[in-house]
Amino acid sequence: MHESNEHGHPHAEISHTERPGYYEIMETAVRELLVEKQLIGAGEIRRQIEVLDSRTPALGAKIVARAWLDPDFKARLLENGRAGCEELGISFYDDTGLIVLENTEKVHNLIVCTLCSCYPRPVLGLPPDWYKLKPYRSRAVSEPRAVLAEFGTIIPDDVEIRVSDSTSMVRYLVLPRRPEGTEGFTEEQLAALVTRDAMIGVIPANSPAAENAP
Amino acid sequence: MTETRALVERLPNDIGGVKSAPIQQVEHELLPWEKRCHALADVLDFHKIINTEEKRRGVEALGAEMVNALSYYERWIVAFANILFQRRVLTPTEVARKMDEVAARSDDTSPVAKA
């Protein structure tokens, strides 16, 4: 992994020019009162923001690529998702468990949180808005084929679709199928084909042909 | 089946399987305060002050009207305040006074603040 070049500089100008709104003022007030009462430390929020910023789908993609290349690792990952991630140096900053769901010729997995927005944040970062909104949460469990079609994903009728509903303690990650034509690819080349949405299960991993298309 | 039966059987968050609109693939970069609010949720969880499930229930307890009207992180911060009031960690008066102070402070500093 190399440093991104465009995001190294601060974007502070914007945040100072607008008056904070009602809810932003409430957030600041609650946070400062908790610090004054010594219930949380002043630096903890800043440190946690750094942790949140460090979590992106690149971590999940690395896990998927390793699982494609190393059958023993894949077996351990499917046995205990969290331990498998930790084996690759990806720590969990909360006490959630992780179950990795493998897509096969016969099974396609999809993850959702019908009650709120539970998501494998340590390995994917924060969820997209659509994952947190009513249409996806309500329909993923009752009409997953229609939902997948809206993402452009058509699953053949003889492939079973399994939808896993996340909880505050158990999160899921989809292990997509390895695309055709990737024999001899390195871990980095494979990881580049694995998107966030493929690990949610709404699309397959990119094929190398699509990746090279202009 | 009465009109109210659905209200009893489904709290506002319990929407799995309910009919809904097509999916709009929307996403946005979090505003700085939204990211702070998310970090605050994590820190409250680490300190066992408010855990993830308590937060979810706190949002649900806002009721359907507020849940529908407020944005995601607006719901979170209001839920945190309510839970902290119930636990007697904070009082509404304290928060109101601190909010006045924060608002006055930003009025004082925003014209001269420089990045």
Per-residue pLDDT of chain A (214 residues; tens, 9 = 90+): 333 334 444 444 444 557 899 999 999 999 999 999 999 998 999 999 999 999 999 999 999 999 999 999 999 999 999 999 999 999 998 889 999 999 999 999 999 999 999 999 999 999 999 999 999 999 999 999 999 999 999 999 999 999 999 998 999 999 999 999 999 999 999 999 999 999 999 999 999 976 554 4
Whether residue A51 lies inside any domain: the answer is no
Active-site position among A85, A118, A164, A166: A118
Whether A47 is in a domain gets the answer no
Chain B interface mutation, best of A19, A31, A37, A170, highest count of B Cβ atoms under 10 Å:
A31
Gap between the Cα atoms of A79 and A86, Å rounded: 13
Is residue B6, in this structure, part of any structural domain at all? no
Tokens of A140: 């993923």
B18 found inside a domain: no
CA distance A73 to chain B (A): 30
Clarify whether A85 is annotated catalytic.
no
Tell me how close the Cα of B65 comes to any Cα of chain A, in angstroms: 15
Do A118 and A188 fall into the same domain? yes
The DSSP code sequence of chain A is ----STTSS--HHHHHHSPP-HHHHHHHHHHHHHHHTTSS-TTHHHHHHHHHHH--HHHHHHHHHHHHH-HHHHHHHHH-HHHHHHHTT---SSS-EEEEEE--SSEEEEEE-SSS----HHHH-SPPHHHHSHHHHHHTTT-HHHHHHHTT----TTSEEEEEE--SSEEEEEEPPPPTT-TT--HHHHHTT--HHHHHTSSPPPPHHHHH--
Nearest by CB: B16 against A16, A23, A114: A114
Nearest-CB residue to A130 (from B27, B71, B80): B27
Task: With respect to residue A50, please indicate whether it lies within any of the assigned structural domains.
Answer: no
Instruction: Please indicate, yes or no, whether residues A63 and A20 belong to a single structural domain of this protein.
Output: no
Q: What CATH number has the domain bearing residue B100? A: 1.10.472.20
Is the residue at B95 inside a domain? yes
Residue A62 domain-assigned (yes or no): yes
Contacts with A138 from chain B: Cβ below 8 Å: 15-20
Quick check: is A127 in a domain? yes
Would residue A5 count as lying in a domain? Answer: no
Domain count, chain B: 1
Query: How many domains does chain A divide into?
Result: 2
Give yes or no: A118 in active site: yes
Question: CA A106: distance to chain centroid?
Answer: 23
The one-letter code for the residue type at A139 is R
Same domain, A173 and A138: yes
Q: Are residues A95 and A184 in the same domain?
A: yes
Are residues A35 and A117 part of one domain?
Answer: no
Q: How large is the ipTM? A: 0.90
Name the residue range of residue A204's domain. Answer: 56-212
